[in-house]
Amino acid sequence: MYEMKTLLPQFDIQLPTCMYEMKSLTTKNKTSVQGFLCKIGAGQVTSTPTASAVSTCCPLDLDKLALQMQRQLLKMSGDDAQEVVLRQEKILQQLNDLKAQLCDIRISLGFDEKDQKSSHMATSSIVVNVHNGGLREEPLHDIVINGHPKFIPYALLALKNAWKDLYTLDVKTFTHATVSDIGTEAKDFEQALKTVPMNTNNPKINITLIWKNCEHTEMISSPTMYVPIYGEVNIIRYLCRVGPQEYRYEDSPLCNEIDAVLDICYQLLRCTTPKSKASMLKALHNRLKNQQYFGGNTMSVADIGVHSSLKRMPGINDKDLTPALLEWRNRAAQVTLI
């Protein structure tokens, strides 16, 4: 073959001098290491077993021999190598201590119940797979909801009561530093959440409600991306899409009707004048008509949205509601318990 010329000219490579030099671990002590191994094989090292003893010793004796050889090699490798080994051992010990502390924290927070959680996830996966064509769905992340104490999201309590035999909403409340006092009504709401029984055999969603000085009720569904969902009505829509099959309405023929009722609730919560409130209540009456519930004869997410919206507006009295709405509210209260 023909010879190719080099692409790079010859340069004198200057090694950096900013780093400290370490003694060689192989070439410098090669002779002494070989001599030490020969002494071990000949039985001249009294602190280690002889060659005949090595051939008949048990595995435990071989481990001791290997450990003693390693120590002797470290002595021959210089002070720098010993210092590196000591630092590594110190770092490993610190990591083990940190691991033990993290395990203690997990146990104190109640995260040691792995078997119980795995059973919950298995139950949730089985229920979802049956109703989803066998498709596999990943478990949901914990949900965070920021709400103002003056605008209490009663829909969480209504859903928790309505789903107590189907799905579990584990709601925990916290108070942000921007709020000095949440008030009596919010405290009663927290107490009502705690009194709802939870079935450990049902699938569960963990919800963290934070009382915060915020303008709108917002939900954070992703721990990595701050993509909020604004409005209590839209939070209801999200929870019903991931909740029990009985309350999912995407494939229902009443899907448009339910969304229309929820849109009226969204507008009702933002009404500031009596005239606008009366207009929205009239729209709800026209949607209900002579039905038992909004959208039919069974309870749906539309009823929960309307009931929680009316609960959030104390300015709306019984005299503002039509007889049909009054009868409906009494029926819905038996399910939502708000």
**Predicted confidence band at 297 (pLDDT cuts at 50, 70, 90)?**
confident
Position 259 scores a pLDDT of 93
Q: In this structure, are residues 80 and 22 in contact, taking their beta carbons and an 8 Å threshold?
A: yes
7 located within any domain: no
231: left (phi over 0), alpha (psi -120 to 50) or beta: left
150 located within any domain: yes
Q: Considering the chain, what is the average pLDDT of its residues?
A: 78
Same domain (yes/no): 269, 286: yes
- Residue 201 clears pLDDT 80, i.e. is over it: yes
Same domain (yes/no): 275, 242: no
205 located within any domain: yes
Last residue of a domain, one of 212, 247, 282: 247
Same domain (yes/no): 149, 243: yes
140: left (phi over 0), alpha (psi -120 to 50) or beta: beta
What's the CATH code of the domain at 205? Answer: 1.20.1050.130
Percentage of residues in the chain having pLDDT higher than 90: 37
What's the CATH code of the domain at 298? Answer: 1.20.1050.10
Same domain (yes/no): 217, 282: no
| Side-chain-facing half-sphere of 39: CA atoms under 13 Å | 13
- Residue 200 clears pLDDT 90, i.e. is over it: no
Distance CA 99, CA 93 (A): 10
- Region 149-166 average pLDDT: 93
192 located within any domain: yes
Same domain (yes/no): 151, 243: yes
69 located within any domain: no
Same domain (yes/no): 211, 241: yes
Three-state secondary structure call for residue 146: strand
* Structural domain of 298: 254-336
161 located within any domain: yes
pLDDT in tens, 107-130: 877 765 544 444 444 344 444 444
Same domain (yes/no): 242, 262: no
Gap between the terminal Cα atoms of the chain = 91
263 located within any domain: yes
Per-residue DSSP letters for 64-114? HHHHHHHHHHHHHT-HHHHHHHHHHHHHHHHHHHHHHHHHHHHHHTTTT-H
For residue 239, give the nearest of 227, 247, 231, 250 by alpha carbon: 247
Last residue of a domain, one of 201, 226, 247: 247
Same domain (yes/no): 164, 210: yes
| Side-chain-facing half-sphere of 156: CA atoms under 13 Å | 32
Distance CA 163, CA 299 (A): 11
Count up the domains in the chain and report the number: 2
Answer with the residue of higher pLDDT: 120 or 250.
Answer: 250
- Region 45-58 average pLDDT: 43
Same domain (yes/no): 243, 147: yes
Same domain (yes/no): 225, 310: no
- Region 22-46 average pLDDT: 52
- Residue 234 clears pLDDT 90, i.e. is over it: yes
9 located within any domain: no
Last residue of a domain, one of 216, 247, 278: 247
Position 65 scores a pLDDT of 52
Same domain (yes/no): 224, 273: no
Alpha helices by DSSP H, the chain: 30-42, 51-56, 59-76, 79-108, 114-131, 154-162, 184-195, 232-242, 255-268, 274-288, 301-312, 323-336
- Region 137-151 average pLDDT: 82
* pTM, entire model: 0.60
Q: In this structure, are residues 156 and 210 in contact, taking their beta carbons and an 8 Å threshold?
A: no
Same domain (yes/no): 222, 274: no
